[in-house]
Structure 1
């Protein structure tokens, strides 16, 4: 068996090339994610999260990228404001709706 490392260098010369490269990287990260934008999530652990944030321990996934420690989630604060916050991805799960709750 043989193991070796290779490096690859690429030059992006225009804003369009940079944007296309970043868009492709982002799409690949989204495809690898267990969450999709708009998924309802449950906060399974409040570790590091202030009690005034994430009322009901539920939210809507805004952005989850594999390899990152945090995801962006839309939640309510205790004062009733909607806010986008970063929550540790390991502390989130897809939300299962309760019986009788609208699907």
Structure 2
């Protein structure tokens, strides 16, 4: 088994090339993510999260990028305001929808 690092150099000459490269990079990161924008998530650990943020331990995924420590999640505060906050990605899981009364 052999492990090595490669370096690649690329020149981006115009704002359009820069934007296209960044868009391509983001698409790749999103494809590798276990979460998608709009996924309902459960906060599985409140480590570092004040009790007045993330009421109900649920939220909606706004942005999760692989190899980052935090994800952006839309939650409610205890005062009823919606707030986008960063939560450790390891402290989140996809939320399973509640079974409806007739589905039992």
Shorter-chain TM-score tier: over 0.9
Matching residue of 1:74: 74
Question: Do the aligned partners of residues 88 and 7 (structure 1) sit closer, same or farther apart at CA in structure 2, a change above 3 Å counting?
Answer: same
Alpha-carbon spacing, 1:2–1:50, altered in 2? closer, same or farther (3 Å) = closer
Which residue in the other structure is 1:45 paired with? 45
- Shift in Å at residue 2 of structure 1? 5.1
- Please list every run of 5 or more consecutive structure 1 residues that lacks an aligned counterpart in the other structure: none
* Alpha-carbon distance between aligned partners in 2 of 1:52 and 1:82, rounded to the nearest angstrom: 12
Give the alignment's TM-score, normalised by structure 2. 0.92
In the alignment, the residues of structure 1 paired with residue 71 and residue 87 of structure 2 have an alpha-carbon distance, to the nearest angstrom, of 5
Moved over 3 A (4+): 1-5
Q: Secondary structure at the match of 1:16?
A: helix
Shift of 1:100: 1.2
Unmatched 5+ stretches in structure 2: none
3-state SS of paired residue (2:28): helix
Aligned pair count? Answer: 101
**In 2, distance between residues paired with 1:4 and 1:43?**
37
For 2:6, what is the secondary structure of its paired residue?
coil
Q: TM-score, normalization: structure 1? A: 0.93
